Amino acid sequence: MVASYEIWGPANETNFKNNAHQAQTVDIRRLALEDLPTDIDIVVGSPPCTQFSFSNRGGGGDLADGLKDIIRFLSIVDHLKPRMWAMENVPRVAKIIEKEMKLGGALADFAHLGCVTHVVDMAEYGIPQRRRRCIAGNFDIGLLESFKPGSDAPTLGDVVKALGAEQIIDPIYGLQLERADLIDHVEEDLLSSEEVRINRANKMTHTVYNAMPFPDPMDRTVRTITATCTRVSRESIVIAAPEQDQAYRRLTLRERACLQGFPITFQFYGANYGQKLRMIGNAVPPAFSFLMGRVLQGCGAEASPSLREASRELKRPKPIPAETPPDRAGARYPANRTFKFAIPSLQLKSGVRFELDNDCSGAVVDWRVSFYFGTSKAIHSIVLDEGIRGRLSLEVSSALQKAVNPVLEQLSRFVEDADIANMQTVWTHQGPGGIRPFMLLDMLDDFGSSLMTAIEAHAEEAPKIIESIIRYQHGAAASSLPGLGKLSRNAETILAGLLVGSTVNPLLRAHAQRSLEQEFRAAG
Ligand SMILES: C[S@@+](CC[C@H](N)C(=O)[O-])C[C@H]1O[C@@H](n2cnc3c(N)ncnc32)[C@H](O)[C@@H]1O
Residue ending a domain, choose from 259, 284, 319? 259
The domain spanning residue 303 has which CATH number?
A: 3.40.50.150
> What does the alpha-carbon distance between residue 43 and residue 33 come to, in Å, rounded to a whole number?
14
CA of 103 to the centre of ligand 1 (A): 29
Pocket test for ligand 1, best of 1, 4, 7 (most atoms within 8 A of CB): 7
Provide the domain limits for residue 18.
Answer: 1-39
Same-domain status, 30 and 91: no
CA of 282 to the centre of ligand 1 (A): 8
The number of the ligand 1 atom at minimal distance from the alpha carbon of 5 is: 21
> What does the alpha-carbon distance between residue 300 and residue 147 come to, in Å, rounded to a whole number?
7
CA of 89 to the centre of ligand 1 (A): 11
Same-domain status, 493 and 412: yes
* pLDDT (average), residues 120-140: 97
Closest residue by CA, ligand 1 atom 12? 48
Residue 234 lies in a domain: yes
The number of the ligand 1 atom at minimal distance from the alpha carbon of 11 is: 27
Task: List the one residue out of 320, 286, 25 whose CA is nearest residue 184.
Answer: 320
> What does the alpha-carbon distance between residue 323 and residue 273 come to, in Å, rounded to a whole number?
8
Sequence letter at residue 364: V
Residue 324 lies in a domain: no
Closest residue by CA, ligand 1 atom 4? 283
Same-domain status, 53 and 114: yes
Q: Going by C-beta distance under 8 Å and a sequence separation of 6 or more, which residues neighbour residue 481?
A: 374, 380, 470, 474
Q: Residue 374 region, left (φ>0) first, then alpha (ψ -120 to 50), else beta? A: left
CA of 364 to the centre of ligand 1 (A): 44
Q: Is the pLDDT of residue 331 over 80?
A: no
Same-domain status, 345 and 278: no
Do 239 and 156 touch, CB atoms closer than 8 A? yes
Q: Is the pLDDT of residue 342 over 90?
A: yes
Could you read off the pLDDT of 350-385 as tens digits, one per residue? Answer: 788 999 999 999 989 999 999 999 877 788 888 899
Q: Is the pLDDT of residue 20 over 90?
A: no
* pLDDT (average), residues 294-323: 95
Residue ending a domain, choose from 259, 294, 324? 259
CA of 247 to the centre of ligand 1 (A): 36
Ligand 1 shell residues, CB under 6 Å:
5-8, 11, 27-29, 46, 48-49, 282-284
CA of 6 to the centre of ligand 1 (A): 6
Same-domain status, 289 and 239: no
Closest residue by CA, ligand 1 atom 23? 7
Closest residue by CA, ligand 1 atom 14? 7
- How many CA atoms are closer than 13 Å to the CA of 282, on its beta-carbon side? 17
Number of domains in the chain: 4
Residue 334 lies in a domain: no
Same-domain status, 213 and 251: yes
CA of 12 to the centre of ligand 1 (A): 10
Residue 333 lies in a domain: no
CA of 279 to the centre of ligand 1 (A): 10
Could you read off the pLDDT of 185-241 as tens digits, one per residue? Answer: 998 899 999 999 999 999 988 877 888 999 999 999 999 999 988 888 888 999 999
Same-domain status, 58 and 118: yes
Same-domain status, 306 and 446: no
Per-residue model confidence (pLDDT) at position 22: 77
Do 351 and 374 touch, CB atoms closer than 8 A? yes
> What does the alpha-carbon distance between residue 27 and residue 171 come to, in Å, rounded to a whole number?
36
CA of 10 to the centre of ligand 1 (A): 11
Poorest-confidence range of 323-327, 406-410, 490-494? 323-327
Per-residue model confidence (pLDDT) at position 478: 83
The number of the ligand 1 atom at minimal distance from the alpha carbon of 279 is: 27
Per-residue model confidence (pLDDT) at position 378: 82
Per-residue model confidence (pLDDT) at position 523: 81
Residue 189 lies in a domain: yes
Question: Which residue has better confidence, 90 or 230?
Answer: 90
pLDDT band at 393 (very low <50, low <70, confident <90, very high): very high
Pocket test for ligand 1, best of 8, 88, 133, 276 (most atoms within 8 A of CB): 8
Helices (H), 114-182: 141-145, 156-164
Residue 325 lies in a domain: no
Question: Which residue has better confidence, 484 or 261?
Answer: 261
CA of 284 to the centre of ligand 1 (A): 10
Cα angle for residues 158, 162, 165 (degrees, 5° grid)? 140
Mean pLDDT over all residues of the chain?
93
Same-domain status, 398 and 472: yes
Using CA atoms of 67, 68, 71, 75 in order, give the dihedral in degrees to the nearest 10. -170
Same-domain status, 251 and 387: no
Sequence letter at residue 53: S
Residue 332 lies in a domain: no
Q: Is the dihedral of CA 127, 132, 134, 138 positive or negative?
A: positive
Per-residue model confidence (pLDDT) at position 242: 81
Pocket test for ligand 1, best of 21, 30, 31, 46 (most atoms within 8 A of CB): 46
The number of the ligand 1 atom at minimal distance from the alpha carbon of 8 is: 25
* pLDDT (average), residues 8-22: 92
Residue 369 lies in a domain: yes
Q: Is the pLDDT of residue 150 over 70?
A: no
Poorest-confidence range of 149-158, 218-227, 298-307, 491-500? 149-158
Closest residue by CA, ligand 1 atom 17? 7
CA of 93 to the centre of ligand 1 (A): 16
Same-domain status, 357 and 216: no
CA of 292 to the centre of ligand 1 (A): 18
Same-domain status, 125 and 97: yes
> What does the alpha-carbon distance between residue 203 and residue 187 come to, in Å, rounded to a whole number?
22
Pocket test for ligand 1, best of 6, 67, 276 (most atoms within 8 A of CB): 6
pLDDT band at 151 (very low <50, low <70, confident <90, very high): low
